[in-house]
Amino acid sequence: MPIHCNAKKENIEKTVFMPGDPLRAKYIAENFLENARLVNSVRNMLAYTGTYKGKPVTVFSSGMGMPSMGIYSYELFKFYDVEKIIRIGSCGAYNEELNLFDTILVDKSYTEGNFAFEWSGKSEHIAEASNMLNSKLEQTAKELNINCIKGNTLCNDCFDGYLDDIDSFIARFPKDLNIIACEMEAFALFYMAKYFNKEAACLLTVVDSHYKNQESTPEERERSLNDMIKIALESI
């Protein structure tokens, strides 16, 4: 039985959308789903199940960082028989061409951390999204006329905004990966999906940049996040 969820199995759908912030899960449920109901509140990791254009879906918050994502994706895949999880998150840009509020679809997630070693004793530092899910998300973005940039991202253990020397940090990344942005959960999600032979993907909105000092209004932020949410929901 799950330790960190109190939802009944029949109240979690096979497709789950996973923002990090519990209040973003609440926002999605209230603004995009019909007949949404709260199905989990343990540790305030809010989860809602409802329908989107008649399709049953669950929105379940993951919290911050790979340990938290690892816990919730594990329990959803193992105890609730979830088939697909799409992370809906934010990121910082490591590419000069990216602008605030660009939408990114993660292809490969790279980490310097030891999540895989602790889990399986293997020194693995790259995890990939589901090709099938990514193809569907790319197709949906085109149909919605929303620019979606596909690329590789970093999954870090430390919030890079607090690092003393971020340029040296970036210089350590494998050059062949061409890492364009960073976030903190995708590697664990992709790794758990591979472990259970399930599907996972990650959509991100750029909310800050190492190279650009851009300002935004609350309306711009909401609109950009809504674009990412629409791509995810319409893909099903």
User: In whole numbers, what is the pLDDT of the chain averaged over residues?
Assistant: 95
pTM (predicted TM-score): 0.96
Domains and CATH numbers, the chain: 9-234 (3.40.50.1580)
* Cα 202 to Cα 84, 96, 132, 150, 212, distances in angstroms: 11, 21, 13, 10, 24
* Cα 9 to Cα 43, 78, 148, distances in angstroms: 18, 11, 34
The confidence band for 224, taking pLDDT boundaries of 50, 70 and 90, is confident
Residues 103-132: pLDDT tens digits? 999 999 999 999 999 999 999 999 999 999
Residues 162-204: pLDDT tens digits? 999 999 999 999 999 999 999 999 999 999 999 999 999 999 9
Q: What does DSSP assign to residue 53?
A: T
* 213, two tokens: 């000092």
Q: Which residues are catalytic?
A: 208
* Distance, C-alpha 68 to centroid of its chain: 12
d(CA 231, CA 236): 9
